[in-house]
Chains A and B, each alone.
Chain A
Amino acid sequence: MHDLIIDETKYTPYIKLDATNGIIEIKGKSYPENTFEFYKPMMNWVEDFFNSDRKEKTLVNLEIIYFNSSSSKLFFDFFDLLEEAHNKGKEIEINWIYHSDNESALEAGEDFKEDFLELNFNLVEK
């Protein structure tokens, strides 16, 4: 499986999908003009990745500073994919990284954690 890197822009985050080491990283702001289209390559990659027969643990690092409502829905769908993979026996650890001064990002992380109780979901203060 190939790696996929999407560079950061003024309104979309840096995305690194590292199949070799099993690391998924999303970092930055997220308010694309068309969110679902923008994240499509990432979502397809994630689906394929968890359909492969990889056994090692996957690490997911998310550091989203702020985002629009369609990105919020997209992240929900992303965690849904992760939960599906988890239920099929994949080991996944999620780090929701937020700045200590950003209680809005913390609250967003808390809500996702509560919506996906099955997942190993850490809130990590930076």
Chain B
Amino acid sequence: MNIKMIQDIVEEDGILFLTYGGFISQSLISSMMEALEKEAEQNNLNLGISSNIFTIFIELTQNMMNYSKSKNLEYDENSPEGLILVTKDIDDCYYIHSQNIITEDDKNRIEPKLEKIVDMSKEEIKKEYRLLRKSGKDSHGKGAGIGFYEIAKRSDGIKFEFNKITDEKYYFHFISKIKTNKEK
């Protein structure tokens, strides 16, 4: 994992209060969730906003648990590992970063989907989310195929980048921003 990347993120965002890199399991996710719940409680976050943060965190970590690959393993052999960071800036905006390794095939599948979502308005995202949920079109064994829509609908902006490692594998870095100083 890239320590320099963490430094850059902290310099840009401000306060880092949760970071983890390595193997990801369901019990680890729920332990990190306890830390997040504590943070939300201490900052008197509104329940609506904190549940958005929780859901985004869960989506990103469960994605990494289910779909991550390793640099060293065979092309599409799963390896549930990744890097996750939660930071906060001086305006109390929260940022959730995730980084994991994916195959080129996965990149080609995810990238157009995310590019489409980035260009959509919040209303369009919510509409598409409900349409996909209803049709079950992208559903598969473990997921409903609506994870990125779930994240986008609860975020105040998403960003992503793919960084090439080898011809076949990429680092997938995803950032979700959540504002907390909303008018109620």
- Write the residues of chain A forming the contact surface with B, with a CB cutoff of 8 angstroms: 10-11, 31, 33-36, 65-70, 72-74, 76, 99, 101-106, 111, 115
Contacts and interface: CB of A to CB of B under 8 A. Distances in A.
B103 interface: no
Given A68-B59, A68-B62, A102 B48 contact: yes
Contacts of A66: 51, 54-55, 58
Interface residues of B, number: 33
Contacts of A36: 141-142
Nearest to A99: B47
Contact of B55 (A67, A76, A103, A106): A67
B58 A72 contact: no
Contacts, number: 79
18 contacts: A33-B26, A36-B141, A68-B58, A69-B147, A69-B149, A70-B144, A70-B147, A72-B146, A99-B47, A101-B46, A102-B51, A104-B49, A104-B51, A104-B154, A105-B47, A105-B51, A111-B126, A115-B134
B159 interface: no
A68 B33 CA distance: 13
A104 B52 contact: yes
Interface of B: 26-27, 29-30, 33-34, 46-49, 51-52, 54-55, 58-59, 62, 65, 126, 130, 133-134, 136, 139, 141-144, 146-147, 149-150, 154
A11 B34 CA distance: 11
Nearest to A73: B144
A102 B154 CA distance: 13
Nearest to B55: A66
B30 A69 contact: no
Contacts of A101: 46-48
B103 to A, nearest CB: 22
A117 B144 CA distance: 23
Which of A10, A68, A69 neighbours the largest number of chain B CB atoms within 10 Å of its CB?
A69
A72 B46 CA distance: 21
Given A11-B26, A73-B133, A111-B130, A31 B47 contact: no
B51 A65 contact: yes
B144 A72 contact: yes
Contacts of B58: 31, 66, 68
A104 B150 CA distance: 12
A10 B33 contact: yes
B55 A68 contact: yes
A101 B46 CA distance: 6
B92 to A, nearest CB: 17
Contact of A70 (B27, B65, B143, B149): B143
